[in-house]
Structure 1
């Protein structure tokens, strides 16, 4: 299996070239669930600046980062999460299963993150460090949030066209206020801790929402499961300035399983660039995923099948689905 690369340059053109871009993206998301998109509309200078701000934030003293902590519990998904707070898993629960949570947390995730959403989402209030802790951070991140929504929205439009739907069929359920930027830092960790499974970076999981648009540094470590060979993961090798786009669970459900939400994980980087120093420390790694999500009270029901296949799923709202997933994560 290889993760396809699609050149997005022709999306702004007319006619057959534009439709070919859409069809290529849908084909990748049917077969693999992941696609690299190059020549998208986010400028490389903006991406470089976003990574610079991310590194500045994580370089702050811990007491400064803790001035914007992730709120207790799972309901609000904003602010700073320190190493060990979050446990990514594929578990679902409608109720808080304390024994299951305890088992999951026996192997901690060694990463730290900072989650940001729309400033106009009262149910998910942002948690910011004071302006004098990192001047300009809030202003830039708010700008970057809406630029990412614009670019990710274009991909969602292309998916709709590739599915033979009206261009805004999927996008119209996305106001942009329910999305999320996640700044991620994987600090150096002894390789032996990962090899012996005493710790993890980010275990295998699928994403919850419509699509994820990911930007990663040159470290490596992201792996994607081969849908035809469960348990077999391949590297998602960094491609400079490319978007790594993957389908989320809600869009798989929405498409009646036409599009594929594929499991992925972050583990040791490639052999040629894996360790630093005598202690065999992993390199630090930075990535920025942007999760594009439908509005929480919108109803997600299966798109009518061209072949007449009946819906596989009952209608659900994103708020109901997220509760099942988030209650197991924090």
Structure 2
């Protein structure tokens, strides 16, 4: 099977060259591998985060239920709670997740399972590292668009004032649950925010992206060619709907999904769907009150979408709203019942 065509960008390169490469990848692909992170997020920090993830999900069910997800998008969600592609899914996603909102002074602003209370500083430290890397990438995207520190200034600097989420995910082994042939582990969707950092474990299969034809799915290797011996897999960065909207559709918010294995394979040589699948996503959002007026870039101003699939950037049509309003619109589509019961804003 032909894998997804996603560029690998070395963040240790010349700043201006890296900025141009990131903008080109954001425009052409929407997904980007980044490597050579230096001290931003070293390999041991990623390994520790996955160790914490396993400990979190192994918490007793009653502890996790006490932390069930709320309309502020924080907390635990169990199997089938979230439905990322409600138009096509027979049942909700085959996964459980735990969302951490922003930490303030190292403290989570939400209930946590007792099992991980003593690990709160470690979760906070990892979230802080992810935030710093996002700000670095956003700065480089701004540099590549000739708007300088537009993204990395006041739009992302107020602690606790955004819908930013650190999300841990666990998908049960495919052979441990009953599922139909057309079921998926996570439905086809695009992400909600500005950019997402996605961490995966080596050899764990499942992620696919929708190609530009709007029909064909392509698997995304955990380790693209040339990175197999890196200490940890490159981080996947993808553009979210909010940033696509903010750039009038110049940046692609690419649809993706997580699938069950087909014909006993995972689609990528050396990868497998055996055992539980773990991943970690950091969804970076601007301050909730940020007005999403078009980014003041000539490249954004002059962009005209040509030959895209009809729904490639469904939120790019210009209508100024705040970052919180944009996020709430997307959350309601995935957790309709929860948000129908309580029409609060995402950070209420």
TM-score interval (norm. to shorter): 0.7 to 0.9
**1:189 CA drift (Å):** 2.7
- Tell me which of 116, 138, 150 is aligned to 2:100: 116
**1:326 CA drift (Å):** 1.2
Contact 1:220–1:270 (CA under 8 A) maintained in structure 2: no
Contact 1:33–1:260 (CA under 8 A) maintained in structure 2: yes
Corresponding residue of 2:73: 77
Query: CA-to-partner distance for each residue in 1:129-156, whole Å, 9 max, x for gaps?
Result: 12xx235321211111111100111111
**1:282 CA drift (Å):** 4.4
Corresponding residue of 1:98: none
Query: CA-to-partner distance for each residue in 1:170-211, whole Å, 9 max, x for gaps?
Result: 1220125321100000011339955522x4211110111100
- Quick one: distance in 2 between partners of 1:196 and 1:271? 11
Matched residue SS, 1:52: helix
Structure 1 residue 309 and structure 2 residue 312: aligned? no
Contact 2:147–2:297 (CA under 8 A) maintained in structure 1: no
- Quick one: distance in 2 between partners of 1:272 and 1:201? 16
Aligned pairs for 1:246-257 (under 5 A) are: 246-257=238-249
Corresponding residue of 2:53: 54
Contact 1:87–1:104 (CA under 8 A) maintained in structure 2: no
- Segments of 5+ residues of structure 2 without an aligned counterpart are 224-231, 304-315, 336-348
- Quick one: distance in 2 between partners of 1:281 and 1:152? 29
- Quick one: distance in 1 between partners of 2:322 and 2:135? 20
- Tell me which of 216, 219, 235 is aligned to 2:200: 216
Q: Could you state the TM-score of these two structures normalised by the residue count of structure 2? A: 0.79
Contact 1:115–1:180 (CA under 8 A) maintained in structure 2: yes
Contact 1:274–1:282 (CA under 8 A) maintained in structure 2: no
Contact 1:78–1:125 (CA under 8 A) maintained in structure 2: no
Contact 2:239–2:253 (CA under 8 A) maintained in structure 1: yes
Q: Could you state the TM-score of these two structures normalised by the residue count of structure 1? A: 0.83
Corresponding residue of 1:207: 191
- Quick one: distance in 2 between partners of 1:152 and 1:269? 32
Corresponding residue of 2:334: 329
C-alpha root-mean-square deviation of aligned residues, in Å?
2.6
Query: CA-to-partner distance for each residue in 1:73-115, whole Å, 9 max, x for gaps?
Result: xx221111111111113x7xxxxxxxxxxx7774221100000
- Tell me which of 290, 307, 314 is aligned to 1:298: 290
Matched residue SS, 2:139: helix
Corresponding residue of 2:228: none
**1:241 CA drift (Å):** 3.2
- Segments of 5+ residues of structure 1 without an aligned counterpart are 11-16, 92-102
Structure 1 residue 180 and structure 2 residue 185: aligned? no
Distance change (3 Å), C-alpha of 1:194 and 1:162: farther
Structure 1 residue 66 and structure 2 residue 65: aligned? yes
**1:300 CA drift (Å):** 0.8
Contact 2:12–2:36 (CA under 8 A) maintained in structure 1: yes
Matched residue SS, 2:116: coil
Distance change (3 Å), C-alpha of 1:194 and 1:171: farther
- Quick one: distance in 2 between partners of 1:53 and 1:3? 29
**1:314 CA drift (Å):** 2.0
**1:233 CA drift (Å):** 1.4
- Quick one: distance in 2 between partners of 1:194 and 1:306? 49
**1:269 CA drift (Å):** 4.7
- Quick one: distance in 1 between partners of 2:172 and 2:47? 20
Number of positions where the alignment pairs a residue of Structure 1 with one of Structure 2: 298
